[in-house]
Amino acid sequence: METLHGSDTYGYTNQEIALHYRLSVGTIKRYINSLFSKLGAKNCTHAIQLASRMGILQKT
């Protein structure tokens, strides 16, 4: 399975990401919520901050 990379999806809506990957919007939302849960993040900004601190966010 292809993974969602921040640089691939940054600035796009859930609908646009779903269309690109040929998934439902619900699936994208579940993936995002799962990621938030694993990181302990409250929102997208918080997830980026946490991932950056953990060294798992690649700089482009």
Q: Which residues of 31-55 are buried (b: 16+ CB within 10 A; e: fewer)?
A: bbeeebeebebeeeeebeebbeeee
Q: Residue 26 CB: number of other CB atoms within 10 A?
A: 10
Query: Residue 5's pLDDT band (boundaries 50, 70, 90)?
Result: low
Query: Is pLDDT larger for residue 3 or for residue 54?
Result: 54
For 13-47, the pLDDT digits (tens) are 999 999 999 999 999 999 999 999 999 999 988 99
pTM of the predicted model as reported, rounded to 2 decimal places:
0.72
